[in-house]
Structure formats: C-alpha cells, structure tokens
Amino acid sequence: MTDLSAPASPDTPDHRTDQRRIRMQAMLEGPVGPTLAALAAPNVLAMAVQTAQSIAETYFASQLGVAALAGIALVFPLVMLTQMLSAGAIGGAISASVARALGAGQPARAATLAVAAWIIAAGAAAVMAVLILLFGQTIFGWMGGQSGPVEVALRYAFVFFPGCITVWLCHASLSIIRGTGDMRMPALVLLGVSSVAIPLAGGLSLGWGPLPEMGVAGLPTALIMAHGAGALIAIIHIARGRTGLRFEGAWQRLDAGMFADIMRVGWLAALNTGLTILTIVLMVGLVGQFGEDALAGYGLGARVEFLMIPIIFGIGAAMTAMVGANIGAGQIDRAVRIAWTGSLAAAAIVGSIGVVLAIAPDLWLGLFLDDTMTGALAAGRSYFRLVAPFYAFFGLGLALYFAAQGAGQMRWPVIGSLCRVGIAVGGAVLLTRIADLGITGVFAAIGVAMLVYGLVIALALRRVGWSAPSL
C-alpha cells in the first residue's frame, strides 16, 4: 500500500493514485458543509456559464422570429432530455457507481465501470438518433406544433440528434472523473464547451464574419462541435491515468455485472428524467392549443425551468459523488446529512430566483420579446406569476434526486415524478376544460405539481431513509 506520508513524484501513476485517495478521504471524513461547498463550487461556476450559453441560444433564436422561438419550444424538451440523461440520469449513475466502488476500496472495479460507461453512452446516443430521425415529425406534430414551428424543430433536430454522441461521450467521461472526487476538471471542460458554443452558435445561426448563415441549424451545430472537443479532452485525461484509475485488465474484467451496476440506478434515473420531460412535453401540447404566441411565451417560461436544472446539477453532481462514496463505505447517516445540506441549499438558490421572476417577469421576457409581441408577453408573464413561486420545491426534489442516485435508491424520486406528471396533466385538463380557466389553468397545475414533487421526495427521505446497497 502506498505510504501517503511520502508521496510519489508529481505526474506519476502513484502520485495520481495518492491524489485520488486524498479526495476520497475528504468526501468520507471532511466536514459536510465545507467539503460539499468546495466540491460544488467548480460545478456551479461551470453550470452558470452553461446557463448563459442556453440563454444566448434563446436570444439568437429570437433574432430569427417568433416562429423560430415556437419551433425551439417544441424541440427544446428533447434536447434537454439528451442533456439530462447524459449528464444527470445515466451520468449521475456512472458517477455514483465509480464513487461507491472507490469508497469500498475497489479501484480496479471503478476503472472497469468507466469502460462500461463509454459503451452505454455510445449505445444510448445511437438509439436517440434513430428514434428522432424516424419519428421526429410525428412527435412535434403530436405536441401541438403548427406547420411553421414544426419545420423549425425538424431543422434543429435533424442536426442535433445524429451528432448527439459527442454530448453523451462528453458527459459520460466527465461523470467518471466526478466519481473519483475531482470536480475541478469537469468544470473546466464544461466552461470551455460553453465558452466555445456561445460565439459559435451566434456565428453559425446569424452568419457572423466568415461563418455561414445556417439559421436554426447553426444552433445545434455549435453544440455538437463544442461537446465533441470536450469529449476528446476528457477521454484523453482519463485514458492517461490522470484520474488515478488504472486500466490494465479493465476490458478483461468487463461483464454484465458492470453494466448492471450502472443501469440498476441508471434506468430508474432515466425513467425519472423521462417523466420530467414528459411533463413539459404534455404541457407544450396543451399550451399549443392556444396558438403560436402562447407557445412562444410558455417556451420562454419553460426554458427558465430547464435552466434551473444546471444550477441544481452544480450542487447535485457533488452530492452524487459524496453520497455514493459514503454509502460505499457504509456511512449511511453521513450520506443523509449530505443530502439534506445540499438539497436545502439548492432549494434556497432556485427559490430566490423564482421569487424575483414572479415579481418581475419582464426581467427575463424582455431579453427576447419587444412590446409589440403582446400575446407572447402575456403568456410568459402568466407563467412566471403562477409557477415561479414553486421553484424552491422543484429545486428541493431535484437535488434529492441527485443524492438518491449516489445512494443507489431511486424509488421515491420516481414516485415523486409520477405524482408531478399526474397532477400537472390532470390538473391542467380539469382547470382548462371543466373550470374554463384557459392557459392560466395550465400554469396553475404546473405550479401545484412542483409543490407535490418536492414534498413527496423530501418526506420519503425523512420517514423512510436509505440503506446500504450491495456492490
């Protein structure tokens, strides 16, 4: 065993292994609040820049007209599904599996799990590409889109989804690195990805300088190119052993159990993510019945809801690794303390944003809509006044979802999401068709569904708790 009192020379395999052990020791023994804050800080910074990238994309789309905004509203839930699956659901399961293996003192298993993670990511990307190419037009039409917005959505989707393997490989690789306790490297990569994507999206969509004016298709092209560069950097970083994982014999150790370790949590996390997206998709379909302006206004509101996810992910990714390591080490009580600490912080941050937008919705809407777009402005203002006050509960539930990934126990987050979709859809139908509240009824149902979502998951952790899963 390596003597940590006499560390190896820098940039050698033994030194990298020592650094990994030091990171793991901090997650297992360091003070919960400061350790979690130190791990989350780089992620939060990276997610803030990624949020700016999404805002910039919305702005570029707004320069192409209301029809472009409505079309982006149709495709955006599916783009976010890719991001949430690759970084949050499957990505979180990857990070948790690696962290649990290292917490249990099994670095060889962690390296083999990394190989399994890359294979899962490539396969998932291929499945998504095929499904969208075959059924994209049907899906967008079913969501209530009119001919113009559907055409815009298809132009975006037919670029993004065939190239989404770069997104999957990038986030799978960053999740492996996070599982070793290193949050700084993934944050730097994501900062780079977003910093490249923002000007590239503007240049390719609007034709800046020597770049071609590709219109809507330029937005996904920028995302694919930027994530491709990020994936390459992250894979090289891991393959060279800079995470402290050694891959000798990893391919030989690969078996069905390694894939099952990831997907045991991953498929439930993916189901949870799917339910989140399904809620948005169904709401898009209901709102679409009220016309293009309503869809554009709701799309801007729903985008803020999606933008809350990267902010929560900044804290949640640190919780996934830290909870996973402690669960692997059998420290259940400490894992639960980590979950409450991070989740309440996320709820406070997201809730504060919600209060501001509920009071002054034009702080956001005014970035993309002018005073002549009265219909879209009215829909967006209604959304924020009825939904934004409940963002804190959305943040609480989603942060606990990331913690549950680390614990390998996803039942209650899935139940919470089922409650959310049922209340949102059922409530919207009841309030629009029976109570005749129109689009206001849709937004009221969305807000109440967020409230229930957060409370169900929080009460379950309080009353039921967690147990240690077998590795």
Reading the block at residue 280, the tokens are: 């948005």
Question: Residue 157 in contact with residue 75, Cβ under 8 Å?
Answer: yes
What was the pLDDT predicted at 4? 38
Q: What is the DSSP letter of 106?
A: -
| Cα-based distances in Å from 167 to 6, 171, 247, 318 | 40, 6, 23, 20
Reading the block at residue 258, the tokens are: 């390694």
What was the pLDDT predicted at 2? 38
Domain locations in the chain?
31-463
**What string of pLDDT tens digits covers the 471 residues of the chain?**
334 334 445 556 667 777 888 888 989 999 999 999 998 888 888 888 888 888 888 889 889 887 888 888 788 888 988 998 999 889 989 999 999 899 889 999 999 999 999 999 999 999 999 999 999 989 888 876 567 888 999 999 999 999 999 999 999 999 999 999 899 999 999 999 999 999 999 999 999 989 999 999 999 999 999 999 999 999 999 999 888 898 999 999 999 999 999 999 899 889 988 888 788 778 877 887 788 788 888 888 887 887 788 889 889 989 999 999 999 889 999 999 999 999 999 999 999 999 999 999 999 999 888 888 888 899 899 999 999 999 999 999 999 999 999 888 889 999 999 999 999 999 999 998 888 888 889 999 999 999 999 999 999 999 888 876 655
Reading the block at residue 291, the tokens are: 């016309």
Helices and strands, number each (H, E), in the chain? 18, 0
What was the pLDDT predicted at 146? 66
The 10 Å Cβ neighbour count of residue 438 is 14
Neighbouring residues of 452: CB distance < 8 A, sequence distance ≥ 6: 416, 419, 420, 423
Give this prediction's pTM: 0.79
Per 3-state DSSP, the chain is made up of helix, strand and coil in percentages (nearest 5) of 85, 0, 15
Q: Whose structure tokens read 């690696």?
A: 98
- In a 10 Å sphere around its CB, with 0-12 CB exposed, 13-18 middle and 19+ buried, how is residue 238 labelled? buried
What was the pLDDT predicted at 194? 92
> Which ranges of 329-373 would DSSP assign to H, the alpha helix?
332-359, 362-365
